[in-house]
Structures are given as C-alpha cells and as structure tokens.
Amino acid sequence: MASNTMAGLVAGSHARNEMHVLHGEQRPPTRQSVAKLCRVCGDEIGVREDGELFVACHECGFPVCKPCYEYERSEGNQSCPQCNTRYKRHKGCARVTGDDEGSLDGDDFHDEFQIKNTRDQQNVFAPSENGDYNPQQWHPNGPAFSAAGSVAGKDFEGEKDMYNNDEWKDRVEKWKTRQEKKGLVSKDGGNDPGDDDEFLLAEARQPLWRKVPIPSSKISPYRIVIILRLVILAFFFRFRILTPAYDAFPLWLISVICEIWFAFSWILDQFPKWQPTNRETYLERLSMRFEREGEPNRLSPVDVFVSTVDPLKEPPIITANTVLSILALDYSVEKVSCYVSDDGASMLLFDSLAETAEFARRWVPFCKKHTIEPRAPEFYFSQKIDYLKDKVDPSFVKERRAMKREYEEFKVRINALVAKAQKKPEEGWTMQDGTPWPGNNTRDHPGMIQVYLGSEGALDVEGKELPRLVYVSREKRPGYQHHKKAGAMNALVRVSAVLTNAPFMLNLDCDHYINNSKAVREAMCFLMDPQLGKKLCYVQFPQRFDGIDRHDRYANRNVVFFDINMKGLDGIQGPVYVGTGCVFNRQALYGYDPPVSEKRPKMTCDCWPSWCSCCCGGSRKSKSKKKVHRGFLGGLYSKKKKMMGKNYSRKGSAPVFDLEEIEEGLEGYDELEKSSLMSQKNFEKRFGQSPVFITSTLMEDGGLPEGTNSTALIKEAIHVISCGYEEKTEWGKEIGWIYGSVTEDILTGFKMHCRGWKSVYCVPKRAAFKGSAPINLSDRLHQVLRWALGSVEIFLSRHCPLWYGYGGKLKWLERLAYINTIVYPFTSIPLLAYCTIPAVCLLTGKFIIPTLTNFASIWFMALFLSIIVTGVLELRWSGVSIQDWWRNEQFWVIGGVSAHLFAVFQGLLKVLFGVDTNFTVTSKAADDAEFGELYLFKWTTLLIPPTTLIILNMVGVVAGVSDAINNGYASWGPLFGKLFFAFWVIVHLYPFLKGLMGRQNRTPTIVVLWSILLASIFSLVWVRIDPFLPKQTGPVLKQCGVEC
C-alpha cells in the first residue's frame, strides 16, 4: 500500500515486493558547500582587507582565524599550533614582545599604543584539549590551545535579555574580578561602555567543559597505598608459598591458588582506577555559541532510540512516559526525532504510541512553559516534594491540576488497551479501519513504520511543532537470524539514517526516562567541542534508579561501579558502554576510524650522513605511514590499498561527499590516488544495498540528500529493515551494534576503543536518566546471570580482549579494564572453593595456615590493614557512602557463588557444545504494598549454592565451638582463625539469607530439602561418627564382661 509519512502505517517486505510505492523523481545529490573553518575555535576564517583568505602561518598554512591568531600572539606561545613556527606580525596587528623591529610598518605605528580592541584582540583563556586553563604550557604533540566561538560582541546584544539588570551587573562584576586576578584587565579601566560586549565575547570563547582535578591530598595517598598493597602482597605470597600446611596440604594448595587468583582479579580492577577524572560542563556557553540571537540554531540534531520487545512484560505506560520525556526535551524540536523499536510487533504498543502522541500535544507545551522536572508525567506527579517551589506564574496551579486529570484519563485509556490485549482473538488483531494487523504472527511479519507528529504531523495545543515520533517494527521471517536487541538497534540506525540522519544518537531502554531535560545539551558540550568532539565515539551517562529500597539490599544501584570504576576509566580512554543512557557519534558506529591529528613533522638536519638518516628515521617514517594507511574509512579496504601501493588519511575537518563523488574522485587527493577510491559496489558489501543509506553514511554532519521526498524515503526505510538486508554485509561484525553476545554493549564499545576512539563520562548534578531495576532476590540474580553469561561468551569469542586488537590504538589500562569485564565470572570458582574451606577446616580440625610467628603475623595484619585503607581512601575521593560500598562487597560474594558460577557453566555449554540452558522463574505473590516486590520470592536453581554455603558454615561453627569446649583451653587459640573466615562468609551472605527468609520468614520446602541434603552429604564425608569425643592414641580397651 502506498503511503506518505503521515498517511498511516507503512508495512512491506522488500524481498517479496509487497509494498507499492509511488516512484518520485530523485535528483542526484549535490556537492556540499565547503567553508574554511578555524581548527582552533571552529568559526569561519575571515578575509583580509584585500579580500584574500587570512593565513596565520605562512610555513604550514594551518587554518587559524584572526582572533585566535592575535590571542596566541598576545597571551599564548606566539607560535603556530602545528609547525611550532613563531607567528610573524601581520599588517594591522598590534606589536608584541619579540617582534622584529624591521617588521613594523610606518602606517601601523599607532598600533603599538593600542590598549584594547573589543573586536579583534580579546583577553580570553587558552584551554588545552581537555578543557583545562593552561595558557603557558606548550604540548609539541598536540594543539597549543582549544578555544571555540570567535564572535563579535554585537552577536550577543540579545543575551542581556536573559537576565535582569542586577543579575547582569553581578555576572559582569564577577567576570571582571576573575580577569583582574589573572592580570588580564586593569582595575582602573573597567568602566568602558564596551565591557558588557567584551564579557560576552570572552564568555563565548571559553571551553564548553573542563576537567575537575581530584585534590592531590585525596588521590596521592590512595595511589601510595595501592603501591604498598602490591609490595605487601608480594611478601604475603612469599610466606604462603614457602610455609605450606603439611597436615592439610590439599586445603592449603587450594587456598593459595584461590588467593593468587583474587590478587590477579584485584589488579585488573584496581589499576584502571589509577587516574579518576571528574568533568563539568557549561551549558550557558553552549547556548551562547550555537544559539545566537538572530541566527539559525546551530546545535546538532539528535535521533533518540527506544527499544522494547514485549509490552506485557514491559508495561506500555512506562514506555509512554519514556517517549513523553523525550518529546519534551529542552532542545530545538526540529532537531529531535524519537524512534521506538517494537521487536515484538505488538498492536498494543502501536495503539499506545498513538495515544501517547495525542497526549504529547498537551504535555509538551505544559512542560516547556513551566520548566518542570522530570518531564515524565508518572514520575513528576508522584514526587513527594513542594511542587510550588520557585513557581511564580499564577496559572501554574490551575494548569497543573488540569494536566494531572488529563494524565489520569490517559492512563485509563492505556490500561484499557492492556486489558484488551490480554486475550488475543482467534482470527488475530484488526486495526481500526478493519484491516488485519500485519504483526499477528510475531515470528513472520513484514516491516512496519508509522510516523507521528513532526513537521508534517499534528501541532501541539499552542500551534507549535513537536518532535518527530516514529514507530518501527523490523521484518521477521523464519530461517533468519535476528540477533535480538543488537539487531533491533542496527535496524533503528539504518531507519533513522534514511529518514532524519542526525549525526548523534541517544539510545535508551524503554524503562529509562529522561530525568534531566538538558541531558542532550550536556552531551553536546563534549560532542560539539571543536577539538575533542571529532575524536569521541560516545558520551556515557551513569544509570540511576527509582523504586529501590532505602538500604539497597542487593546493590541494585551499583554505585561503586558507576561512581568509582567508570570515573577511573574516564581518565584513560573513556568509560565502557553500558547499554543505555549513551549518546553516540554516528560515524563511530559506522566503523570509521577517528580523524588523525596532524602532527608537526619531525625535524631533520642535513648535516647528518644519509646512512644515519636511514637508520634513525626510517622506522618512524614507516610507522607513520602505517598509521595514515588505516585512517580512511577505518582501514576498510586496506588489502586493496596495499595492492595499489597508496596511503589514505581521512582528515578530521574535511567535508563529507556524496556517493557520486566516490566514483568520480574526491577533492584533496592526487590524480594517481583517484583510481583506487572505493566504488559503490565496495560500499554495498559493507553497508548493504541501499544507495540512500550509503549516501547518508558519507554525510558527517548529518542531514538528508537534496531532492528526496517522504514517500521515497519511507520505501527505502522499509527496505533497510528487511530481514535479509544484513546478509553478506559487515553489520554486526564491524558496523553498528556487534553480534555474538547477549551483552552487545561491551562488544560495541570495545570495538570502537580498539579503533582509537575516545569516550567521555558525563555526570551532571541532576541525574540525566532514571530507570527501574529488579529489587527482589531472584530477579536480581537472573539479571546478573545474563550479564555474566555475556562476558563468558565474549571470553570464548574472537573478540576477547586477551588476544583481540593488539597493534591497534587501545590503551593498556583500558585493555585491563575490558579484560576484567570478561574474566570476572570465572572468579566464582575460586570464590566458591574459598567460601567452603572455613567449614571444612572447622569440621576436620585442620587449617590452611600453619602456626604463625610474630614476624609472619605482621604480613597478615599489614594485608588486612591495606585492604581497609584502600577502601576508605577510595570512598574519600569518590564520595561513595560506606553503606553502598559494603552492599557492593556483599553482593560480589552473593552473585559470585550463584549467578556467576552458573554463567560460567552455561556459557561453556552454549559456546563449546551448542547447549542453550535456561533457568525458569516461577513467582509467588507478595502481600506488601510498599517495596512488596522486595519480599517476593521466586524459586530458581541459582539459590541452591549460596544456601548450601550458609548451612555448611553454620554447621562448621557449631562443630568447631563444640570441639573446643570438649578439648579444653588449648584448642581455643587455633579456633579463632577458623571462626573468623567462617563468619566472613556468613556476614557477606547475610542479605541473601534475609531475602531467602522474606518478611514472613517463610522458605519453600524445596530449597530447604536441597540445601540440607547437599550439606549433610558434604559433612558426612569429612566428619567422623564421634567428632566431639576425646581422641585415643593407645590400644583400644574394652570393658570386661561377666565371664572375664
């Protein structure tokens, strides 16, 4: 059926040619205009008085605008950022210290006496690449400074309207004070009329973000203790290995092996946290730079992806709240598009989105008028706060009451849809016009697309445009591998590229709503940075959760990982991708390499003999060529290029060209190189057979090709979500979300980091996103089981960080972090053994450690002390509470002896033998209203190992104490060491025991039976029939009978 973007649902199968689409005339893509941009601030480079392009450095021609050139001469190093050659004075520029006398023209003599020039010469900061203020340092391997936004004060005449007079004077005075402290403004010359404009100019040229260094008083002791702990570990293992316990040699050997593995695991976890980083953003500067008064909005467009599978398990009202929070973003509406992936082809979700789109016409203008947070109505109306705080509009209370009533009516309509969907008709679902729902067979249905709202859709109640909302359900047919969530995300990447093609993409789970309406702006402070932005593959936000009990019994918030580990990775090459709350650079997902920084060529001297130059410089030159060779399109066709003997580099600031130019040849390359440029056939092998999509991949700044119409784009979108589109392409291998693991997020981020991309961790003061997490024990263990299983799959694949990506651009500490993410499930085996050893020692009277001397006991005490101090100092610099840290330690043991253990064996069975084992969960109703799910018990086999460990150690404690009482005072000394380890196990498993018993202290019989059975069998193996009687060493004496 033919349809335009707003006519209704478009469904079709490209392979079966089931969709009839009007063939509009398509004009060929046109060459995009190329503007010469400053490589420092990102503004256009102006022209000189004679009309020629301004060139700052005549040695290398590095593109720098005049304001950046003059600032570098007056306040910086007076040198070119690329070749390090001293800048020569240009006509009309003020003289600075170090200029040659002969270079001063007579006509420009008055420039020597200029005090300031508010148009061209401004006192601004000189930030380095990471955003830090560092005006005097020169880094020979990188840009000297990174400022953005060279504009005149007249561009900000409207900015004063944002503040009242007192606030504006306040800001200007604070700015003057800062400038005076730095010696950039004199105290007696600060009352000129141009000061306000000068302030705006200087403010706009500041970096959009900066690193906030952790005080050395906090981080230095932390690093010292880490080194001391390493030294102590070395001496500890020396003692443990050289003094075996011969009376319990097997136990001693097992314990030493476990301890060595724990030390290895600690190193993998600890050293990536060596240089933790905090960052802060400046949203006002972002607005001043890209949203100037009287000019078009220059913020980059964003496509937002929401993925869902089963609306009966993922309630539609939760998905609707997530979509509403996206549509109400504090961002230009024409630059936001929301794509909802329905991988279950559910008519329930389709109808729910139609209702959501209608409700959004009222909800979005209400949010923006009153600047409310969060902009998900369910969570906004359920807040237990004073919602009148800071509200001054008299109509707010009335409008809020009306909006709350409308939302409740909206919920009722959604509930009615859910109730209707509980029972599917025999003939299948039918749409409102009487046609059968195309997705009645969820495993065999065509691709479906429905576009709501947007520029051609309904306006809000105030007559303003709303962001585009698109429903997408990819085609599914029997016999095709669909790759679950990763396949659905790749389908969204292609659909969005055809319909909107925003350069950046935000992906969210259906239960993660936007809690901070400025979250996308926070990400843009990094992604639109003129220096760092081109090298970023994504900006990751931490996950925060609602609905978790106050004590966080099962460490659902995962605070230690998000506030310690991720900040540590941010100081290396960037945080790992965690599956949601992440803003991607589209070019990075396409498998391209990051732009190669242009470095200053190596200085050579003609006085050295030629043979010396070959020996000393040959290796570096060869290495440089190799690096450039991988630059163009990520080394995609390196084999072909090697055969042609050519080297290619993709320049960071170069424009992106249309598909026709690929076959004709690109500008900027020699004639000899044009013969080996990639053809359309090569692109099709990589990206698939869609000319529209291929063209979009070459448009680095996003946007659609000229001459396209909505009908043709919808037809092409149906094509790119067909089930056979990815066959014989690199989707899921080198492009998009990577296949091969249930934790596709780790693989996807790992591949990008291997190519040399960087990522950034953004932690705004107000949490960017919030979601829901399973808070009962069984569901939490199954969630951890899934994550651990994905890590095991990666460990057994070709993408394992232990052997993949060497020779690339992955930093060593980053590799250690990725190795830790895939080997941590295997810690479950030594952990299970180590938790069993205390019970065995108590039941047998043996111990893994021989009698300690005073000197040997020092190492034990030092080790325990270093562990405690490391934890305390880690909490000190991170700000994590001790309760969160302790819950994390407890769940590390609980998950390690249950979910991680099962994941190892399930992963081995799945990868090596093709056996896919599933652990089913059956629920039992809960009676509690608040946090009722916390006490909900669901039987699962994951509960057996920890329960068995608890019983074993409790039996061991009873046996050990009874034996000591029976044998007298001398046996109490060795007992304390055994009891310490047993209590260590019990204390760590205490939350598990509490969850097992529940509030009503009821436990299913099957758990008790299995656990008691295993514990009894294990105990009988080691315990003699009379374990508490005195041991006889002489001959056995029997009492004489009557006939003696």
Torsion over CA of 67, 68, 70 and 73, rounded to 10 degrees?
170
* pLDDT, tens only, 757-790: 999 999 999 999 998 887 778 788 888 898 899 8
pLDDT category, 663, cuts 50, 70, 90?
A: very low
Lowest-confidence region among 384-393, 627-636, 764-773, 974-983? 627-636
Q: Which residues pair with 731 in a beta bridge?
A: 735
* pLDDT, tens only, 362-397: 999 999 988 888 999 999 998 887 777 777 777 888
Whole-number pLDDT of residue 366: 92
Whole-number pLDDT of residue 650: 40
Q: Where are the beta strands (DSSP E) in 659-796?
A: 758-761, 769-772
* pLDDT, tens only, 273-326: 999 999 999 988 888 888 888 788 889 999 999 999 888 888 899 999 999 999
* pLDDT, tens only, 572-607: 989 999 989 999 999 999 988 888 766 555 554 444
pLDDT category, 127, cuts 50, 70, 90?
A: very low
Q: Is the pLDDT of residue 341 over 70?
A: yes
How much is the pTM? 0.73
Task: Name the most confidently modeled range: 148-157, 659-668, 911-920, 982-991.
Answer: 982-991
Amino acid at 269: D
Task: Name the most confidently modeled range: 222-226, 345-349, 698-702.
Answer: 222-226
**With contact defined as beta carbons under 8 Å apart, do 755 and 808 qualify?**
yes
pLDDT category, 615, cuts 50, 70, 90?
A: very low
Whole-number pLDDT of residue 1012: 64
Share of the chain above pLDDT 70, in %: 70
Lowest-confidence region among 129-133, 560-564, 967-971, 1027-1031? 129-133
Report helix, strand or coil for 983. helix
Residue 314 phi/psi, 5° resolution? -115, 95
Whole-number pLDDT of residue 532: 87
Task: Name the most confidently modeled range: 140-144, 165-169, 209-213, 807-811.
Answer: 209-213
Share of the chain above pLDDT 90, in %: 25
Q: Over range 128-146, report the average pLDDT.
A: 38
Higher pLDDT, 862 or 424: 862
Whole-number pLDDT of residue 72: 76
Residue 16 phi/psi, 5° resolution? -90, -5
* pLDDT, tens only, 722-759: 888 888 888 988 899 999 888 888 999 999 999 989 99
Question: β-strand 209-212 against 278-281: which pairing, if any?
Answer: antiparallel
**With contact defined as beta carbons under 8 Å apart, do 890 and 988 qualify?**
yes
Residue 944 phi/psi, 5° resolution? -70, -50
**With contact defined as beta carbons under 8 Å apart, do 866 and 229 qualify?**
yes
Rounded CA-CA distance 673/669 in Å is: 6
Q: Is the pLDDT of residue 426 over 70?
A: yes
Rounded CA-CA distance 55/476 in Å is: 57
Work out the number of other CB atoms within 10 angstroms of the CB of residue 1042: 4
* pLDDT, tens only, 734-743: 899 999 888 8
Task: Name the most confidently modeled range: 189-193, 203-207, 646-650.
Answer: 203-207
The size of the chain, in residues, is 1044
Whole-number pLDDT of residue 564: 92
Q: Over range 979-999, report the average pLDDT.
A: 80
Q: Over range 217-224, report the average pLDDT.
A: 92
Q: Which residues pair with 583 in a beta bridge?
A: 506, 539
| Strands of the sheet with 513-514, listed across from one edge | 513-514, 769-772, 544-546
Q: Over range 911-920, report the average pLDDT.
A: 63
Whole-number pLDDT of residue 201: 59
Quickly tell me which residue has 């190189």 as its tokens.
Answer: 673
Higher pLDDT, 169 or 709: 709
Amino acid at 297: N
Q: Is the pLDDT of residue 978 over 70?
A: yes
| Average pLDDT value over all residues in the chain | 75
**With contact defined as beta carbons under 8 Å apart, do 592 and 520 qualify?**
no
Quickly tell me which residue has 């992106």 as its tokens.
Answer: 656
Q: Is the pLDDT of residue 656 over 70?
A: no
Q: Over range 57-68, report the average pLDDT.
A: 80
Quickly tell me which residue has 């008083």 as its tokens.
Answer: 217
Rounded CA-CA distance 551/905 in Å is: 32
pLDDT category, 695, cuts 50, 70, 90?
A: confident
Whole-number pLDDT of residue 922: 38
**With contact defined as beta carbons under 8 Å apart, do 743 and 790 qualify?**
yes
**With contact defined as beta carbons under 8 Å apart, do 159 and 109 qualify?**
no
Residue 304 phi/psi, 5° resolution? -110, 130
pLDDT category, 233, cuts 50, 70, 90?
A: very high
Structure tokens at 860: 């034990």
Q: Where are the beta strands (DSSP E) in 573-719?
A: 582-585
Indicate which residue of 196, 343, 529, 593 is catalytic. 343
pLDDT category, 1017, cuts 50, 70, 90?
A: low
Whole-number pLDDT of residue 867: 92
Residue 53 phi/psi, 5° resolution? -65, 135
Higher pLDDT, 862 or 114: 862
Higher pLDDT, 699 or 1039: 699
433 is catalytic: no
Q: Over range 132-161, report the average pLDDT.
A: 38
701 is catalytic: no
All residues at 6 or more sequence positions from 215 whose CB lies less than 8 Å from its CB, including other chains: none
Higher pLDDT, 721 or 939: 721
pLDDT category, 845, cuts 50, 70, 90?
A: confident
Whole-number pLDDT of residue 16: 64
Q: Over range 645-672, report the average pLDDT.
A: 39
Structure tokens at 144: 């000297």
Q: Is the pLDDT of residue 1026 over 90?
A: no
Whole-number pLDDT of residue 322: 94
Q: Which residues pair with 47 in a beta bridge?
A: 53
Closest CA to 324 of 352, 345, 300: 352
Rounded CA-CA distance 907/792 in Å is: 6
Q: Over range 854-869, report the average pLDDT.
A: 86
Indicate which residue of 99, 351, 529, 745 is catalytic. 745
Rounded CA-CA distance 687/997 in Å is: 54
Whole-number pLDDT of residue 749: 92
Buried/exposed code over 572-594 (b: 16+ C-beta within 10 A; e: otherwise): bbbbbbbbbbbbbbbbbbbbbbb
pLDDT category, 189, cuts 50, 70, 90?
A: very low
Higher pLDDT, 535 or 28: 535
Whole-number pLDDT of residue 19: 59
Rounded CA-CA distance 926/310 in Å is: 23
Q: Over range 60-85, report the average pLDDT.
A: 77
Lowest-confidence region among 59-73, 113-127, 991-1005? 113-127
Whole-number pLDDT of residue 647: 36
User: End-to-end distance of the chain based on CA atoms, in angstroms?
Assistant: 109
Q: CA gyration radius for the chain?
A: 33
Whole-number pLDDT of residue 782: 86
Q: Which DSSP helix (H) or strand (E) runs through 210? A: strand 209-212
Whole-number pLDDT of residue 1002: 55
Rounded CA-CA distance 858/838 in Å is: 22
Whole-number pLDDT of residue 108: 43
pLDDT category, 70, cuts 50, 70, 90?
A: confident
Q: Over range 619-629, report the average pLDDT.
A: 39
Rounded CA-CA distance 183/324 in Å is: 49
State how far the alpha carbon of 1000 is from the alpha carbons of 431, 781, 996, in Å: 47, 21, 10
Amino acid at 563: D
Structure tokens at 237: 């293992």
Whole-number pLDDT of residue 1036: 55
Quickly tell me which residue has 């990008």 as its tokens.
Answer: 752
Residue 552: HSE in the Cβ half-sphere, 13 Å Cα cutoff: 21
Whole-number pLDDT of residue 29: 38
Rounded CA-CA distance 720/10 in Å is: 14
